[in-house]
Amino acid sequence: MQPDPKSRSRSGKSPLPDGEWSLSFCGRTVSRAQAQEPLVLHLLAEDICYQFAVYDWSTHRPALRHPRAWLAWRRKKRRLNDKRDRLREIAAASLPH
């Protein structure tokens, strides 16, 4: 018996219902109707940008023998974490629970 290919994603998480999107930085989902709101649409776009930035950051890890590059890489991670925290605050204040 073959497992249903739609039952799980490659990450092992259950897929979202049709018409819902996930905001990875705050662990929330939004419906298609909510996504029509300008602020929610902006949060979705910011979430995608954040995910790409984190991926890009993770692929440029410098060697430990380059301390300045290592420190700059860590500073960039802190800036990404600050951005994530700001997005979480905006989402918490503007999205219904």
Crossing angle (nearest 10°) for helices 67-94 and 38-58: 160
pLDDT in tens, 64-78: 999 999 999 999 999
pLDDT in tens, 77-95: 999 999 999 988 888 888 7
* 3-class DSSP string for 33-83: CHHHCHHHHHHHHHHHHHHHHHHHHHCCCCCCCCHHHHHHHHHHHHHHHHH
Q: Is-above-0.75 flag for pTM?
A: no
Paired tokens of 22: 């996930």
pLDDT in tens, 40-58: 888 888 888 999 999 999 9
